[in-house]
Amino acid sequence: MIGRYKFEIGCILVLALAFLATQAEFNRFYYFAGFAILQYVMIATAWNILGGYGGYINFGTAGFLGVGSYVAIGLIEWGDAAIVWQVVAAAVVAGLLGLFIGYFTLRLKGVYFAIATLALAIVLETIVNNWDFVGGAAGISILPPRKPELLGILIVDRKGDGIFSNSKEFLFFLMAAMAIFSVWVARTVERGKLGRGLNAIKDNEEAAECMGVPTLRLKLIATTLSGALMGAAGGIFPSYMTFVDPPTAFNLEFAVNSLAMPMIGGTFTWLGPVVGAVLLGTVQQIAIVTISSELNLLILGVLLVIFVTVAPHGIVGWFMKKNK
C-alpha cells in the first residue's frame, strides 16, 4: 500500500517541508533563491514533457512565461484578481498559445516548431512593448494586496493573524506547491499512454504513425500541457517580483535554462529536470552573488554545449548506466 504511493507521500512531505520553511523566518535571500529554484523546477519539468519525451524542442519558454506574467498583470490592472485566478488564467492562455503554435507548425519537421517558438518570444515581447495598458516598454509595478483571503481564511497578515506573516513567504509556498504539482503531472504523463506515445514519436515518428499512434494529437496535447505549466509559472512571477518589464518577463535566460536543465539532468525521466534545475539553479544563485552574472551565464552556455555533445543522457542517465 505505502509502496504504491511512495511518490505521492514524498510530494506531500516536500510540501510540508516548504511550509515549515516559511514559518522559520530565515533570511529573506533564502526565500528569494528558493523561489527561483522552484520556479526553474517547474519550467524545466514543463519543457521536458514535450522536449524530453516527445523530442520537440521549444525555444520559446520565455514567450510562454512572459505571456503568463502579462496575463496576471492584465488581471491585476483590470480588477485586482486574486493570485489563484491570475495563475489559472495565465495557464489557460499560455496553454492555448501552445495549441495555436503547435497547430500551425507541428505537422512539419521538429526544426520548424523550434524556429517558430524562438521567433514567438520576440514577437510577444514586441506586442507587450507596444501595449501601454500593461506598462509597455517602461514596465509596471505591482502592489501585493494588503490582506489576501482565500475561502474566508486570512492568508497573509503582518501582525501574525494569518497563516503567513508576509506575502513573499506565501508566494514561496504557492510556488513550491505548483512545482510539486508539475512534477506529479510529468510523472503521470511519463507512465501513461501519452508518455509512451511521445516516446514512440521521438524514436521514429513515421513508424509510430503507421502503428496507429495519433501523433499530431499527442503532440498538441503535450504542447498545450507544457505551455500551460510554463504560463502558470509566469503567472505567479509579477506578484513575487512586484516590478516587471518586457526584458525581465521575456528574458532569454528562461529559454536557455529550461533547455539546459533537463538536458544536463537527463531528459528521459521526470527526475532529470528536477535534478538539473536544483543543481543548476543552486549554482546560479550562488554564482550571481559571488561572481558576475555574465560569467554565470557563460558557464551555463558552456555546460549546455558540453552535455549536449558528450553526455546526451545527462546526470541521471550517467548514474543509471553505472548501476547496471
Partner 1 sequence: MDFLELLINALIAGVLLGGFFAALSIGLSICFGLLDTVNLAHPTLIVAAAFCTFLLNDVFGLDPILAGVLITPVFFVIGLVIYTAYYQFFEKNSAEALRGLAFFFGLLFITEVILIMVFGVDHRLVNAAYIGKSMGMSLGTIDVSIPYRLLVAFAVAAIMTLGLQMFLDRSFFGRATRAVHQDMMALSLMGVDPVAIKRIAFAIGLGTCGLAGALMIVVIPIEPAVGRLFIGNVFAIVVLGGLGSISGTLIAAMILGIAESVVSTFFGPSWAPAVSFGILLGVLAFRPTGLLGVGDTR
Q: Is 114 in the site for partner 1 (CB under 8 A)?
A: yes
Burial of 2 (0-12, 13-18, 19+ CB in 10 A): exposed
CA distance 113 to 103: 10
Which spans in 55-155 are helix H? 61-79, 83-105, 110-129
Binder to partner 1 among 10, 192, 214, 301 (CB under 8 A)? 301
Q: Is 302 in the site for partner 1 (CB under 8 A)?
A: yes
- State in angstroms the smallest separation of the CB of 144 from partner 1: 30
Nearer to partner 1, 214 or 301 (CB): 301
In 113-195, where do the E strands start and end? 140-141, 149-150, 153-154
Nearer to partner 1, 59 or 270 (CB): 59
CA distance 101 to 40: 23
Residue among 13, 54, 63, 15 at smallest CA distance from 38: 15
Q: Is 119 in the site for partner 1 (CB under 8 A)?
A: yes
Per-residue x/- marks for partner 1, 194-233, CB under 8 A?
--------x-------------------------------
Q: Is 138 in the site for partner 1 (CB under 8 A)?
A: no
Nearer to partner 1, 82 or 115 (CB): 115
Q: Is 56 in the site for partner 1 (CB under 8 A)?
A: yes
Burial of 294 (0-12, 13-18, 19+ CB in 10 A): exposed
Q: How many residues can be counted in the chain?
A: 324
Q: Tell me which residues touch partner 1 (CB under 8 A).
A: 55-57, 59, 104-105, 107-112, 114-116, 118-120, 122-123, 126-127, 129-130, 202, 252, 256, 259-260, 263, 294-295, 297-298, 300-302, 304-305, 308-310, 312
